[in-house]
Amino acid sequence: MGKIVINMDSLKSSRDWVRHKVNEGDNIFRIMPPFGDLEQHKNYPYHRWSVAWLVDPKSNKRKPFATPLTDGDTCPVQEYNDALNLFIEERKNQLKSEGYSDGDVKVELEGLRNVQWNMRIQHVYAYNACNQAGSVGILELKSTAHKAMKKMMNVYIKEHGQDPTSLGSENDDSGVWFNILKEGKGKDTEYSVAFNQTKQKINGTLVKIDDRSALPDHVVDNYDSLAYDLGSIYVRKNYDELRTILMFNLGILAQEVPEAGLVPGFELEEAEEKVAPPARKSARPALVEDETPIKRAVAKVTLKLDDEDDEPAPARKAAAPVAAKPAVKAAAPVKKAPAPVQEFDDDELNALTNEILGD
């Protein structure tokens, strides 16, 4: 394998980073070629991260944490979600057996459903991308937008036989500008991806053609120093570190929804009595630094866009089964309203994501 270039600026404080935002409406980008260690990126132009949004015990602010699920390892947040699903189902059956109506059951479980929403794991896909202003930065797409992007890349390869992430703009080797359309807000947000198109007169007729206009020269000439190592844009948390953060969050949530701290295997009382086990070794791969430029094939499309890296790999270590416990006695109704669900638009997402860097 040839030597590679790692942009060491991509490992500095978040203040030095460029992060592209997907705003409501049209967003025009060129997706950049795979960058970094071939063994790590395997010629994919993106890197998948599994992220949990939790309150940081150090800052008391909610921020994204990269979970072990990113690397296919056992994840405590996923374990809690699985246990919480069973816990909610048992509570629902218990309430129905006690004569609660469907409407009353929904009200009684509202707090736990909010906890379920707040504790969910999000899968984001990070790309190197260039905007129309000629700025190379990190573009993070949610699953629906990522799948739409991959679909259009495959269409481009079939129609043109060329790499859609190519830095070139020649007839026989050209990348293409994409338009990511964002519509709606919150849970109702929808994404679609199409080729950006320009109008051109051909034989006196005005037609739309795929935008294959050139990248700025400084991007083509300096891509090796502008791109980011997508496998290092978050600090990974190992199982024990993340479980400690998780239990801290359950303590906060239980103030509003007491049952959040009664989920089997994650009981708050037991957590306070136990001494935290020694931290496990991080699975983060070592970075490689060199000064040899990246080698890219021009004549042949080698870009990988299959489904291999689309979803989290199965956990390498199965979680220990949670022992069955007697049904939890129905808790007295909490007078206080459940904690509101926190939702973030893309601007807030990018701002908060930056906080994790350098931790």
284: CATH: 3.90.198.10
Mean pLDDT for 293-308 is 56
For residue 359, tell me if it sits in a domain: no
- At 220-251, the pLDDT tens digits run 999 999 999 998 888 889 999 999 999 999 99
Measured on CA atoms in the order 74, 138, 22, 28, is the torsion positive or negative? negative
Q: pTM above the 0.75 mark?
A: no
Strands 205-210 and 177-183: unpaired
In a domain, 35, yes or no: yes
Mean pLDDT of 67-72: 92
3 within some domain: no
Q: How far, in Å, CA of 209 to CA of 196, rounded? A: 8
CB 75 within 8 A of CB 315: yes
CB-based burial label for 294 (10 Å; 0-12, 13-18, 19+): middle
- Residue 351's contacts (CB-CB under 8 Å, 6 or more residues apart) are none
Span 338-347, pLDDT tens digits:
333 334 444 4
Overall domain count for the chain: 1
Residue 208 lies in a domain: yes
More confident residue, 117 or 359: 117
| 326 lies in some domain | yes
Q: Give 209's strand partners.
A: 198
pLDDT on residue 36: 74
Q: Is 76 helix (H, G, I), strand (E, B) or coil?
A: helix
Residue-level pLDDT at 207: 84
Q: What is the mean pLDDT of residues 268-284?
A: 44
On the question of pLDDT at 308 being above 80, the answer is no
Q: Is residue 141 part of a domain?
A: yes
Q: Is residue 145 part of a domain?
A: yes
**Per-residue pLDDT at 10:** 47
For residue 18, give its domain range. Answer: 8-354
Helix (H, G, I), strand (E, B) or coil at 18: coil
**Residue 43 placed within a domain:** yes
